[in-house]
Each structure stands twice: as structure tokens, then as C-alpha cells.
Structure 1
Amino acid sequence: MSMDNRFTVEETNLLSIYHEGSREQLVENMTAALPYMDEDMRELAQRTLSKVDALTEAEFAELIICAADEA
């Protein structure tokens, strides 16, 4: 299974917003934004963070993080 299939389109788009190079920076950026998100977005972010947390560094490095078109 491809690493990209672990994340939904919405989760991948969220990752693309907060990703700045490293896994640690992504987690830090997204966690800092949680208090400013509405309830639905916060749930999405927390679910996405838990998936990122479950990845090894090698798996994270293989992720292709870019916004997906929802056409």
C-alpha cells in the first residue's frame, strides 16, 4: 500500500498547508493552529496528527505532501 493512501484528500491538503520541510515543524505548526480552528477542522487536524505520529521517519520522508485537486 502506498503511503499516500493512508491519508484522505482533506488530510493531505491540511498537511500541505502546515508542512515546511520537517516532520517536527509540521507537527509544531499544526498543533499551534489547533486553538484557532473550528471544531470540524480541529477533529481533522487531530486525526491527521495522530496518523503522522504513527509514521516512522522513513515513512514520513516518503510522503508526497502537496495539495490535491478535488475536481
Structure 2
Amino acid sequence: MSKFTVEETNLMCIYNTGSRADLLAELSEMQKHLEADETELLDLTKTVMDKLSAMNDLEFESLSAELIPDFEEQEE
């Protein structure tokens, strides 16, 4: 997951709905609600969206497995 910073990963975890396309849609929708002074979050969101757009769905699925822990597996 070295493609993404900790901040980028946190943002993706907050808005991840399970697919790359849906995550991009959620981030795009969130950007519409940002205030003019929230430039840092806007820049972070744009960077994440650029990186996600450069990936394919298979790469995202691999990344998503790292973002969402499998709690059932840890219980064993």
C-alpha cells in the first residue's frame, strides 16, 4: 500500500463502499460539500482520486483487502 500516504489511506477507509468506482463517486460527492477554506482536504481528495483513477479494479481489490481487515480471520 506504499502508493498511498497514511492520510490518503484514512480518507479512503472513511469513504470506501467496496468498489473503486463507488469510492471515486463518494469522494467526488464529498468534494462538493467542502468549504472554500478546506483546501488541504480538497488537495488530499484530489490526490487520492488521481491515484485511484490510475489503478484498475483488480489493483483496487488487492488494495481494498489491506484497507478492510478480516476480523473473522483474526479470531481464529
TM-score (norm: length of structure 2): 0.77
Counterpart residue number, 1:69: none
Identical amino acids, percent of aligned pairs? 32
Q: Which has the larger radius of gyration?
A: 2
| Unaligned 5+ runs, structure 2 | 69-76
Q: Higher RCO, 1 or 2 (CA under 8 Å, sep at least 6)?
A: 1
| Unaligned 5+ runs, structure 1 | 67-71
Question: Which of 43, 65, 68 does residue 67 from structure 2 map onto?
Answer: 65
CA distance in 1, matches of 2:42, 2:53: 16
Please identify runs of 4+ aligned residues in structure 1 that moved more than 4 A.
none
TM-score (norm: length of structure 1): 0.82
Aligned alpha-carbon RMSD (Å): 1.0
CA distance in 1, matches of 2:25, 2:32: 13
